[in-house]
Structures are given as structure tokens and as C-alpha cells.
Amino acid sequence: MARIVVDPVTRIEGHLRIEAQVEGGMISDAWSSGTMFRGIELILRGRDPREAWIWAQRICGVCTMVHALASVNAVEDALGIEVPENARLVRNIIASTQTIQDHVVHFYHLHALDWVDVVSALKADPAKTSQLAQSISDWPMSSAKYFKGVQDRVAALVASKQLSLFGAGYWGHPAYHLPPEANLMAVAHYLEALTFQKEFIRIHAVLGGKNPHLQTFLVGGMATSIDPNEPNATINPERIDFLLEVAKSAGDFVSQVYIPDVLAVAGFYRDWFGLGSGVGNYMSYGGYPQGSIKDPADFFLPRGIILNRDLSKVHPVDPANVTEYVARSWYDYSGGDQVAKHPYEGETNPKYSGPTPPYDFLQVDQKYSWLKAPRYQDQSMEVGPLARMLVAYASGQQDVKALVDATLAKLKAPATALFSTLGRVAARALETQLLASRLVGWIEELRDNMASGNVRIHNGEKWDPSTWPDTARGFGFFEAPRGSLGHWVEIEDKAIKNYQAVVPSTWNAGPRDAHGQRGPYEAALLKTPVADPERPLEILRTVHSFDPCLACAVHVVDATGQLKARAKA
Amino acid sequence: MKSSRHALPAALQARGVSRREFVKFCELMVATLALPPRYVSAVEKAFSQTTRPVLVWLEFQDCAGNTESMLRTSNPTVAEFVLELLSWEYHETIMAGAGKQAEEALERVVRENKGQYIAVVEGAIPTADGGVYCTIAGKTALDIATHVCTNAAASIAVGACAWDGGLVRANPNPTGAVGLQEAVPSIKVVNLGGCPHNPANTAAVLTHYLTFHEMPALDQYNRPLFAYGNIIHDQCERRAHYDAGRFVEEWGDEGHRKGYCLYKMGCKGPEATYNCPTVRWNDGTSWPVKSGHGCIACASHRFWDTKSPFYKRLPSVPGFGVDVTAAEIGWVGTGVVAAAMVAQVAGNFVRDRIRPKTAEKTDEPKDSRGD
């Protein structure tokens, strides 16, 4: 029996530590710990709610803009503001662009090296690699000469004995199964995707001035002025053409590179359709309003919950049922460790009780993480692309159903194969394809509105704080790339009184609760084989399949205790 | 950096770089740094060593936004950086190795490249309560920063948080967060503020350092003058509207659609320095003011506390609507962008002599927990 520690878990956002118990070559128990705390919600208190999004956006620079959107949604909910249709469309365009870019980066740059052995690519025959590439896709960059060039680049790197970012990989690990040609093809696409991500994200630069950390949201709408006749309007016919061109090129990359690669890799790792399942409950708040944000039935991606892997029933979601525990987290609650608190009543009194650094192991039988443990009606929920696709599939959303069924047929796998490590990888890819296609439609709707003379982009009725009630509170939500995101805001005397975010990676990476119920990462790692405890590649596979984002996950709320006292000091 | 310099083509060919691409890159770097063209060959030499310079990138109380920004770089691309120009041996967000193997890679750099590697730091460093608010591999951010940066040849803080504590340090600074220079006072840190940093500037600073073995000329905050020496307002494409008294009065109004000045909507451009309007973002695609929102002065010192509220009009910009007063707030006495750029280039020719007084306020916000 051995305790394995992976810290830092790299190729993620933020600071995550996994401790796992291994017995007989298999994980018998696991603990997920977030090891960094900033306290952004506390910093937000007392500030102007109209600028909360600028601050909240900095919760994360990888899934940049998602907290900005959840934040303006929350403040608009509190103040009763409906945004104009053009603003809704621009938000959908920005949000889907983010998710598409984020998913591509996740697969190629954060996750692929768990399946792809870079050094093995040196043994590949470029001519056979070309045949392989052309057999699965029409993507033009597939000649033997092209792959030889990529191989030469890798060879030069290895020959230099300075492997740079690739220096400490688990190359040659027995759990790598791709043939050298598939590895070479994947390395080529790793490099192509580096170019893709920076080109595609220029949609954000046009609409938000820059990426990461766009500067374009407004409570009540967007700062993207729109006018068919003005060359200096943020959105005009020329910019629409640019957006459409970039969006369409993304569709090509996703359908001709990303999707075929995922299917090819999955074909060599079929056992991972049976590993890494986890808690088996899946939640989606739903996203991409097609009319009012108050009408979830009309969202592009539906709202709902799947319980115990039962796809025959979709349960409703009520934000009132969200609570958080701190029984195994480094915080105190006024009511003690047994209680769970709703975000509006939430408190965060950080009280570190872990080992004094430097340390070798956490006290996993006590408190062991800066993440709280969110629960829905006292149950652990997995959130993210898999949850969204399952909820949409079970809800009968036509596009999703067709895409998922066709993919399962290609993989010759039943729907139950989706409840797995590879299921998350596949769901993420399918969602990317779905959104890449829908993105073009949203840009066209915006173009048509503009052409018909609709230039309304902001609802300024409540911009002046003198129009606000003395107190107000609201809930803003969004399906971020990594899952269900909620922001709760309380406004008093024109300023933020309390602010709280319950974010995707808190749902997924959170620790045990007062009942000892594991979080989704912890549950998914159970029964994972570990061939070599010194090089725990398999742990990375399952943890990375969730696409961890730890900076998001650690947050602080209404600090009625220690932190408030400090704030006054 | 220890190295034996070889003939340019051999060293480059081995890395799969074409000469044309390489010279193009060198010329672009020289242009960004506003150096005379004769320096192109010096840049070429610096990047033609058989042993590539080693870089490590540390992340502490961060959002990885500066990492993401680096991934958006085009000249050179991040692939060229990590594969051909440098040996990028530690960077949590994108490195292949994890856990023990990752930590060993970092330790090996400190041991074997002592005094020769570049350390880039992203994120604030918490000092309260023994540093428990950020640990990696069981060690505190402060211990890691001290160990790695005091053994580096040069340390660069990218983004607002690594520079001055940034958002994490904003009132009430719950974790006692500070920037790298304050956390490790014995070293000299070059600060590339901004939220996030602009990778074009970071690439230029790396190039300058590897070429001349010294940092470019710096201002009072140890920020490179070529990037932080000019007022945004003076370089702004909407400046003519300010001078003519044409302002956006409401979001989405006719002035907003025509690209008028955003001063009345809270733009902090008159008080902020950065080369944001000229270098722009994402391959020069845009910058916030061009896209319709005011500047929040994200490259200014302690901007979260000193420049917010972000939608409140600056109180003390003198006599807007009158050309002549521009001289009072800007180093460059004209609002014409082209003129500002010429002046910037001229300023950088005499790198070591110019220390223009920036119009940025240097007020130090009080820390409730900077203790």
C-alpha cells in the first residue's frame, strides 16, 4: 500500500494537489486539494456593482470572460434589467468563442500528452503518417513532407538535449498505446492548435479589445457599439465579415482535425470508456439564451440534472437547492462543520489547519483543501461538457442527440460508455463542434439586426445608481467551458454588500462533505489502475479529463468572522 | 548564459528554422524595442547559440491570464519560443511533466544553471500566516520565489499581481499578498505590469536581455520605458475627438457608434501609461478603447485601488476640449499618434539618459494588511 502525491498537477489552471492510496496496482482512495486562496469576493465588497464584472473576471484568466458574464447576469437579475437582443447575441458569440477555444486548448495542450508519447513520434514513418491522416480526414496539411518537417523539429529538440516543456514527461510509459505514426500526427496537430487558438480568439479582440480579460461588458448590455454605416463602430459590416470568416475557419479545424483526432485516440484506449466514471450525477444550469434569460426552456443548451446515470429522466434545477459544506475545508462556519449553507447565507472564515509548510502529506482524515464542497440537495454533482451533453441528450435536444448517436455508432459503443474518462473527452469535442456551427448563426443574426437598423446595444435605464432600490439581490449563471457557474450578489446603498461565486471546478474538485461523500474527482479516481506509482500517468488522465481550473474554484464569501476583523485592522 | 557561438545557419538549421523567418523575427524585435537597425545582427547572434538560454515560469496567486496572454504571442510564436529560441523548462500550466518530475526539473535548473537562467513570475505572493495561502509541492510561494529568483540571472514579473500584488492585494488584502520585488527585496525585478501583460512587450524584453545581457531602460517602477513611457491619452486614436469636445454621453449613443472620446464614461487613458494603443493585442487586432470601452489603467501602479471606480469620470484632467492643455498631462506635447511614436523611438535611441516624468500618480494606497 502506497500513498502517491501529485503536486503540482500541471497542465491545468491553478494549484491542485492529488493524494491517492494505491493497493494492488489500483487506486483505493483519493483526496483532491486546492492549495491556493486569494479571497476575491471579499475584495469585491463595498465596490460599485457595475464594475464587479471587471474584478470577478480576474477569478480566472484561462476561462476569461465567464465570470464577467455571470457577474453582469447577477447584477442585472438583482436590478431587474433586461438587455437588448444585440447584447444577448454578442454575449453568446463571445461565450461560445471562449468555449470553443478553451476546449481545443484543453485537448491539445493540456490533455493530449496523457495519451500521446512525443518521443515515440521520432520512430514514425512520415509516409505512413500521411496515409493515416488522409484516411481519417480531408484536412489539407497531411503530406509526408509536412510530417517529416514536424518530425525533424522534434528530432532537433531531442538532439539538443534541452527538451524544454517536454523535458519531464512520462515518455516510454507502458500505458501509452498509440503507434508512432499516430503520435507524430498528434504532435503536428498540437503545434497547429497553438496557431489556431491565437488566431481564432481574435474574435474576442474585435469585440472585447483583448484576450484574455476582455474589456467590453456592461451592466445592461455591451460596450460594442453597432452601426451599419459607421467605420468606427465596434461592430459594422466589415467587422461582421471578419467574425464570420474566423468563425467558419474554426468549424473546419474542429470537424477536420479535433474530432477525427479524438476518435482516433479513443480507438486505441477503449478501456478508458470503462474507467473514471465518478459520482454519476450530472448537472447543467443551461446556457446560451435564445430569447429572455429568464426562460431556460428556450436555451440552446438545456437545464437539468441526471441522477445515478439514469438517462431516462431529467430532473429540474432550482438554484435554491445549492449549498456548500466546509467540514473538510480550511474554513470555519458559525453553525459548525455539520451544516451546509446556501450562497446567500454563506460565510467564509478561512482557518488553515493543515500541516506547516514545507510538508510531505496532507492530513486527509481532517481538513485538507481551500475548496469548499458544493452539493445539490446534499448530493455531489459532476458539471462540465459531459453533464451538458448528457442533459441535452436525455432532454431530446435534436442537434445533440444526432451528434452523440452518430459518434457512439462510429465508436461502436453504448451510451453508458459516456460515463467515463474518455466520455468527458468525447463530450467536450462534440460540444465544440455543436457550438462552432451555432456561432456562425449568432453572428448572422447580429448582422441581420444591424442591417435592419437595430443598433441598440445597451439598456441604460438603470445605469444611474440613483434609480436603484436601497437593497437588492440577484443570481447570475452561465455554463462555462468547465461547467455550471453561479454568482450571487447582494447590493445595499449602491454598493456590493456580499458576493459569492460557486464555480465549476469547486463542484468537480471539491473535497468530501460532512457525510464523507467524495467529490467528483475523488470518486472518479477510484479503481483507476496505476502501472508505475513513480509515474502516475493514469491519475493525470482522469483528473485532466475534467479540465481542472483551480483559481476559479477557491473563493471567499460573506466574511463575518476572522477576515472581516482583518479588513478593519 | 554559457554558450559557444556557432555560424548562424548551422545552429538554426538544426532547429528547423529558415533563415528568412529568423531574420524577420530579429528585425521585428529590434523595431519593437525601437533600436537602430544595426542591432539586427546582434539579436541574430544572441539567438544562434548552440545551447539555448533556459527560462522557468513560476505561477503563484495567479489566474493564469499572463500565461494565456503569452500563448497568444505571434512574433515569435510560443512554439518558436519553447522549441527553438529558449529552453522553457518549467511552466505549470503547459509543461508535460507533473508532480515529482516537474519539481525535479525546476530544481535541476537552479542547480545546473545557477546564475544563468531567466525566471518569469506570474501572480502575487502571500505573506500572511506563514504563507499557507499558496503552496506548491508542500512549499510556500515565498520560499519557492526566494530560492528560484535569487539564483537566476534575471527575474521578470509579468502582470499586475507579480508586479505590485495586483488584484489579490486590493483592499482588504486578505492574504497579505505582495509583488515579487517586495517579496524578494534582494534581487532587481523588471516589472511588466498590465492585466494581463502584453506578450509583445515581454518578447521584446527577453530579446533585449539575451542580446545585450542587460535590461532595457527602466522607469521609476522598473518598467521598460519603451512600453510604459507614454500616456495612453496621447497615443489614442480617439484623441482628436477629445480635443474637439466630442464625447460619448451614453453607452450605445451616436457618439459611441462614431467612435468619440470615452472620457466621460470613466476612461482612465489621460492618467495611464502603456503602449496599448500602438502595440495593441492579439496580433495588433484591437485594444479596449478601440473596441468601445474606457481604459481602466491596468498597467498603472496598484491600479485596482488607485484607479477605481472605473466608471467615474477622472476629476482633474485639465480643460478638455482645448488642444494646448494636452502638454500639461503628457510627455509628448501633441495628440497626434504618429508624432508620439516618433518621439517614442527617439527617446529609446538614447536609452540610458531619458527618464521622463510620467503623469501617473505615484500615490501609494495604504495596505490594510501589507504588514
The domain locations on chain B are 53-215, 230-349
Catalytic residue among A32, A41, A50, A63: A63
User: Catalytic residue at A60?
Assistant: yes
Of residues B315 and B35, more confidence is placed in B35
Counting residues of chain B whose pLDDT is more than 90, the rounded percentage is 66
Write down the pLDDT at residue A129. Answer: 98
Residue range A237-261: mean pLDDT, rounded: 98
**Grid cell locating A543:** 483528473
Nearest-CA distance from B287 to chain A in Å?
Answer: 4
Rounded (5°) CA angle A524-A530-A533: 120
Tens-digit pLDDT profile for residues A118-156: 999 999 999 999 999 999 999 999 999 999 999 999 999
Cβ–Cβ < 8 Å for A278, A524: yes
pLDDT interval class at B350 (50, 70, 90):
very low
Would you state the torsion angle of the CA atoms of residues A374, A376, A380, A386, taken in this order, to the nearest 10 degrees?
A: -100
Residue range B171-184: mean pLDDT, rounded: 96
Report the half-sphere exposure of A530 (CA within 13 A, side-chain side).
28
The answer to whether B89 contacts A164, with C-beta atoms less than 8 Å apart, is yes
Write down the pLDDT at residue A223. Answer: 98
Least confident of A154-158, A253-257, B105-109: A154-158
Counting residues of chain B whose pLDDT is more than 70, the rounded percentage is 81
**Grid cell locating B323:** 488642444
Write down the pLDDT at residue B364. Answer: 60
pLDDT interval class at A486 (50, 70, 90):
very high
A-contacting residues in B 157-196 (Cβ below 8 Å): 167-168, 170-175, 177, 195-196
Catalytic residue among A11, A15, A50, A67: A67
* Chain B environment of A499 (Cβ under 8 Å): none
Counting residues of chain A whose pLDDT is more than 90, the rounded percentage is 93
Q: A262, A170, A264, A111: which is closest to A530 by C-alpha?
A: A170
Instruction: Note whether B264 contacts A: Cβ–Cβ < 8 A.
Output: no
In angstroms, the CA A475 to CA A76 distance is 9
**Grid cell locating B121:** 513570475
Q: Provide the edge-to-edge strand list for the sheet that holds A2-6.
A: A2-6, A16-23, A26-34
Instruction: Note whether A548 contacts B: Cβ–Cβ < 8 A.
Output: no
Instruction: Note whether A504 contacts B: Cβ–Cβ < 8 A.
Output: no
pLDDT interval class at B358 (50, 70, 90):
very low
pLDDT interval class at A26 (50, 70, 90):
very high
Looking at residue A47, its amino acid is R
Catalytic residue among A329, A424, A512, A552: A552
User: Catalytic residue at A45?
Assistant: no
Residue range B301-315: mean pLDDT, rounded: 94
User: Catalytic residue at A303?
Assistant: no
- Peptide linkage before A8 cis (omega within 30 of 0): yes
A-contacting residues in B 15-34 (Cβ below 8 Å): 15-16
State yes or no: pLDDT of B323 exceeds 60. no
**Mutation to test the B interface, candidates A215, A226, A494, A562, most B Cβ within 10 Å:** A215
Q: Which of A58, A149, A568 sits opposite B195 (nearest CB)?
A: A58
A-contacting residues in B 323-362 (Cβ below 8 Å): none
Write down the pLDDT at residue B365. Answer: 64
Pinpoint the alpha helices (H) of chain B.
8-14, 19-32, 40-46, 65-71, 78-80, 99-112, 141-150, 159-164, 166-169, 180-183, 199-212, 225-228, 232-235, 239-243, 254-258, 276-279, 303-306, 326-329, 337-349
Show the domains of chain A with their CATH numbers: 2-113+196-568 (1.10.645.10)
Q: Which of A163, A165, A568 sits opposite B94 (nearest CB)?
A: A165
Nearest-CA distance from A285 to chain B in Å?
Answer: 24
The answer to whether A38 contacts B168, with C-beta atoms less than 8 Å apart, is yes
**Mutation to test the B interface, candidates A225, A238, A330, most B Cβ within 10 Å:** A225
* Chain A environment of B50 (Cβ under 8 Å): 160
Residue range B3-15: mean pLDDT, rounded: 52
A-contacting residues in B 58-87 (Cβ below 8 Å): 59-69, 71-74, 77-79, 82-83, 86-87
The answer to whether A5 contacts B99, with C-beta atoms less than 8 Å apart, is yes
Exposed/middle/buried for A561, CB within 10 Å: 0-12, 13-18, 19+?
middle
Tens-digit pLDDT profile for residues B119-145: 999 999 999 999 999 999 999 999 999
Residue range B34-50: mean pLDDT, rounded: 83
Write down the pLDDT at residue A569. Answer: 27
Residue range A453-480: mean pLDDT, rounded: 97
Write down the pLDDT at residue B10. Answer: 61
In angstroms, the CA B206 to CA B217 distance is 13
A-contacting residues in B 197-236 (Cβ below 8 Å): none
Q: B83, B93, B8: which is closest to B42 by C-alpha?
A: B8
Nearest-CA distance from A267 to chain B in Å?
Answer: 23
Instruction: Note whether B366 contacts A: Cβ–Cβ < 8 A.
Output: no
Write down the pLDDT at residue B113. Answer: 97
- The alpha carbon of B273 is separated from its chain's Cα centroid by a whole number of angstroms, namely 12
User: Catalytic residue at A482?
Assistant: yes
The total number of residues written for chain B in this structure: 371
Write down the pLDDT at residue B15. Answer: 67
The answer to whether A455 contacts B252, with C-beta atoms less than 8 Å apart, is yes
Would you state the torsion angle of the CA atoms of residues B23, B29, B31, B36, taken in this order, to the nearest 10 degrees?
A: -80
Of residues A353 and A557, more confidence is placed in A353
- pTM given for the model: 0.93
State yes or no: pLDDT of B336 exceeds 60. no
Residue range B302-318: mean pLDDT, rounded: 87
User: Catalytic residue at A438?
Assistant: no
State yes or no: pLDDT of A210 exceeds 70. yes
State yes or no: pLDDT of A361 exceeds 60. yes
Nearest-CA distance from A496 to chain B in Å?
Answer: 13
User: Catalytic residue at A375?
Assistant: no
Nearest-CA distance from B57 to chain A in Å?
Answer: 11
Count of CB pairs separated by less than 8 Å, A with B: 344
Residue range A390-419: mean pLDDT, rounded: 96
**Coil, helix or strand for B254?**
helix
Q: A341, A46, A146: which is closest to B308 by C-alpha?
A: A46
User: Catalytic residue at A13?
Assistant: yes
In angstroms, the CA A53 to CA B233 distance is 24
In angstroms, the CA A422 to CA A269 distance is 8
- The alpha carbon of A332 is separated from its chain's Cα centroid by a whole number of angstroms, namely 28
Kindly provide the b/e burial profile for residues B134-148, where b requires at least 16 CB atoms within 10 angstroms of the residue's own CB: bbbbbbbbbbbbbeb
Catalytic residue among A482, A512, A544, A555: A482
**Mutation to test the A interface, candidates B135, B167, B169, most A Cβ within 10 Å:** B135
Instruction: Note whether A15 contacts B: Cβ–Cβ < 8 A.
Output: yes
ipTM computed for the complex: 0.96
Q: Find residue A475's DSSP bridge partners.
A: A488
Give the fold, CATH level 3, of B230-349: Cytochrome-c3 Hydrogenase; Chain A, domain 2 (4.10.480)
Cβ–Cβ < 8 Å for A326, A371: no
In angstroms, the CA A552 to CA A57 distance is 10
The answer to whether B134 contacts A563, with C-beta atoms less than 8 Å apart, is no
* Chain A environment of B259 (Cβ under 8 Å): 225, 230-233
Q: Which CATH number fits domain B53-215: 3.40.50.700, 3.20.20.140, 3.40.605.10, 3.40.50.1950?
A: 3.40.50.700
Q: A513, A499, A503, A522: which is closest to A339 by C-alpha?
A: A513
Nearest-CA distance from B328 to chain A in Å?
Answer: 28
Write down the pLDDT at residue B320. Answer: 45
Nearest-CA distance from A360 to chain B in Å?
Answer: 6
In angstroms, the CA A542 to CA A386 distance is 13
